[in-house]
Amino acid sequence: MNTLFEPATVGMELDQALACHLGDVPAQASQGLRDTLGAMAQACARISEIASQGVLAGAHGLAERSNSQGEAQKNLDVIAEELISMALARCRHVAGWASEEQEQAQVSDDHGTQGRYLVVYDPLDGSSNIEANISIGTIFSILPHPYRGTTPGEMGFMQPGHQQIAAGYVLYGPATLMVLTCRRGVLVLTLDRTSLYGAGPARWVVAQDQVRIPAATREFAINTSNQRFWEKPIQRYVAECVAGDAGPRMKDFNMRWVASMVAEVHRIMTRGGVFMYPRDSREPRKPGRLRLMYEAAPMALLVEQAGGRAVNGTSELMDLVPDTLHQRVPVILGSRDEIDRIVGYHADPHENVSWQLFKTRSLFVQPQA
């Protein structure tokens, strides 16, 4: 039996599609989630508008300040942060929020005790790409407020990814797309840019429902300038891909690197692939580049809802319980067959042995001449 939820939402607007997806959820909770996602969608439509105006809207350049993690902020990082936090502050279902661009979690002045949800987000992902006019994005995750009736402290946010009620990203590319899951499969919506010039709310229209990531792929994405810092299982996996049909995989692979995780994940949603930002030894204090709560966990939920897999090498990303708000983790996600293989390499006692060694010992079948 096909247990997948299969609503025919293509062509519907966001709220109508969400009502359809959340048909089995009690009315108040459904309304809460619809309003919260609607608030996020409206803020992101505004970010899209500003990003598309570039220098004309002051979207380029450095803000001449850093975030709590010591990273230089761009003007658009700051603008996006303000637009999203203001939208969440107005939403009566949101008790608190936390962001890459704020050191501490924020409690809603008006809805801190009664709000149902905590929202965690990366307001602007891929900010190094803004001036190059390359795709950028926003990533968000909606968690339950675990101590409703009291205000959420930072501990309330320390929930593993499998607790997420919804997650999504917005990709500001040639078209602006929102990719969303309420744990009932993955929806893709396109922003109708003509709606930005009217008086009403932005119009998001469902372009695809129940996105599936192919299990097999020949495409991977990794920043190879870090190669000398990678651990052995990733060295082995990438070496085998690069060896192509002359290596043990006996097929050629293609490589891409956009440096905007949102764009990489969307390519994987579209045609499969593997995205890796693995653990490396550059800075032993940082076990990875990407942040667990507002990059890794929401992307993991989306990828798994589309049939893919998301791990840190040995564990599922959604099983990791955060210790701190800005915790970093290794991220390996995408087409299931390849992620299973990479997890296998991490578990393999022979992982230190390169494929070349296997090849010279004739342990692998040689490709046909």
Total interface residues for Mn ion by CB under 5 A = 4
Q: Is 126 in the site for ligand AHG (CB under 6 A)?
A: yes
Q: Of the listed pieces 124-132, 145-153, 184-192, 204-212, which binds Mn ion according to CB under 5 A? A: 124-132
In this chain, which of 42, 73, 127, 164 binds ligand AHG, going by CB under 6 A?
127
Residues 236/354, Cβ–Cβ less than 8 Å: yes
- Please report whether residue 261 would count as binding ligand AHG according to CB under 6 A: yes
Asked whether position 260 contacts ligand AHG by CB under 6 A, the answer is yes
Asked if residues 196 and 202 have their Cβ atoms less than 8 Å apart, the reply is yes
- Binding of residue 81 to Mn ion (CB under 5 A): no
Q: 72: which 2 tokens?
A: 């230089």
Closest approach, Cβ 260 to ligand AHG, in A, equals 5
Between 127 and 305, CB nearer to ligand AHG: 127
Q: Could you give the CA distance from residue 259 to residue 257 in angstroms, rounded to a whole number?
A: 6
DSSP assignment string, 174-191: SSEEEEEESSS-EEEEEE
Half-sphere exposure of 137 (CA within 13 A, CB side): 22
Nearer to ligand AHG, 81 or 122 (CB): 122
CB nearer to ligand AHG: pick between 25 and 234 = 234
**The binder of ligand AHG chosen from 35, 49, 81, 125 (CB under 6 A):** 125
State phi, psi for 127 to the nearest 5 degrees: -65, -20
Closer residue to Mn ion (CB): 209 or 264 = 264
Which residue in 35, 81, 125, 304 binds Mn ion (CB under 5 A)?
Answer: 125
Distance from C-alpha of 340 to C-alpha of 334, rounded to nearest angstrom: 10
Distant-in-sequence, close-in-space partners of 310: CB < 8 Å, separation ≥ 6: 296, 299, 300, 303, 304, 316, 317, 318, 331, 332, 333, 334, 339
Query: Does 122 sit near ligand AHG (CB under 6 A)?
Result: yes
Residues at the site binding Mn ion, with contacts judged by CB under 5 A:
100, 122, 124-125
